[in-house]
């Protein structure tokens, strides 16, 4: 049954990846959100933080597209307001300008700039990257000791980026899975490492006892 779920996830992810590659960077954020819609329960971000990240991705992608047009290929991925930008730009000046644009988007806490200064990649390269992402996510779903829904997985030129709020053990296991996936050349962790204690819900606040009603004066 687990292998069947793996296969179904891989087919779904491949379909979404194909649509995302065909429609472009901004559509990728929307498609990704649609695929992950059923996974909110295992996402350690609050619902508000997830919505904020989606808004950051859309606003940043729109601003970058308006500035660079077809002369650059830039993907934007946000997790807890930490933004990863990947892809290709033609000059070092473009790379710095892209970071400045993303950094000015409301709500952005920090920017990790992994843009390559090089010609824009081909459609076939991006399709291969999408396939790698799908395989990594499918392997995480199939694993019994890590929750794949805790991670955002981004692949650019065969380099896999992992994002999420996870423990050190979860980070190590996900890295191991990604590194063992065929086609992966490098794994970069853009993770927020937390302890098991930090993941525990806060204790309930004890109710404040209500004051006893004042007794009526005797006549």
Report the pLDDT value the prediction gives residue 213, as an integer from 0 to 100.
60
219 pLDDT more than 70: no
Nearest to 154 by CA among 168, 133, 177, 182: 133
82-89 β-sheet, strand order: 73-79, 82-89, 110-117
The pLDDT, as a whole number, for residue 20 is: 46
Of 62-71, 102-111, 150-159, 192-201, where does mean pLDDT reach its minimum?
A: 192-201
Distance CA 214, CA 156 (A): 71
Cα–Cα nearest to 6, from 135, 128, 166: 135
| pLDDT confidence of residue 218 | 62
Q: What is the pLDDT of residue 193?
A: 97
How far is C-alpha 175 from the geometric centre of its chain's CA atoms? Answer: 15
Name the residue ranges covered by the structural domains of the chain.
Answer: 2-64+121-198
Contact criterion met (CB below 8 Å) for 160 and 187 = yes
Q: How confident is the model at residue 3 (pLDDT cuts 50, 70, 90)?
A: low
In the 8-state DSSP scheme, what is residue 41?
Answer: G
Mean pLDDT of 75-98: 98
Output the pTM of the full model. Answer: 0.77
pLDDT tens-digit profile of 16-35?
A: 444 444 444 443 443 344 34
Question: Which of 16-20, 164-168, 173-177, 189-193 has the least mean pLDDT?
Answer: 16-20
pLDDT for position 28 = 42
| Mean pLDDT for the chain overall | 85
For 185-205, what is the mean pLDDT?
91
pLDDT score for 121 = 96
């Amino acid at each position: 049954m687990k292998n069947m779920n793996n296969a179904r996830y891989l087919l779904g992810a491949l379909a979404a990846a194909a649509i995302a590659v065909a429609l472009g960077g901004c559509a990728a954020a929307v498609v990704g959100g649609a695929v992950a819609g059923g996974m909110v329960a295992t996402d350690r971000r609050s619902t508000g933080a997830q919505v904020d990240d989606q808004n950051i991705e859309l606003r940043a992608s729109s601003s970058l597209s308006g500035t660079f047009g077809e002369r650059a290929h830039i993907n934007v991925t946000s997790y807890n307001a930490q933004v990863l930008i990947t892809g290709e730009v033609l000059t070092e000046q473009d790379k710095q300008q892209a970071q400045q644009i993303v950094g000015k988007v409301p709500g952005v806490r920090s920017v990790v700039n992994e843009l390559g200064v090089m010609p824009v990649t081909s459609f076939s390269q991006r399709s291969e990257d999408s396939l790698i992402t799908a395989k990594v996510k499918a392997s995480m779903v199939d694993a019994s000791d890590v929750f794949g829904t805790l991670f955002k997985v981004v692949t650019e030129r065969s380099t896999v980026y992992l994002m999420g709020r996870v423990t050190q053990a979860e980070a190590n296991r996900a890295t191991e899975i990604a590194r063992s996936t065929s086609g992966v050349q490098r794994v970069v962790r853009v993770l927020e490492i937390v302890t098991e204690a930090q993941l525990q819900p806060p204790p309930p606040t004890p109710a404040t006892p209500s004051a006893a009603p004042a007794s009526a004066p005797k006549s």
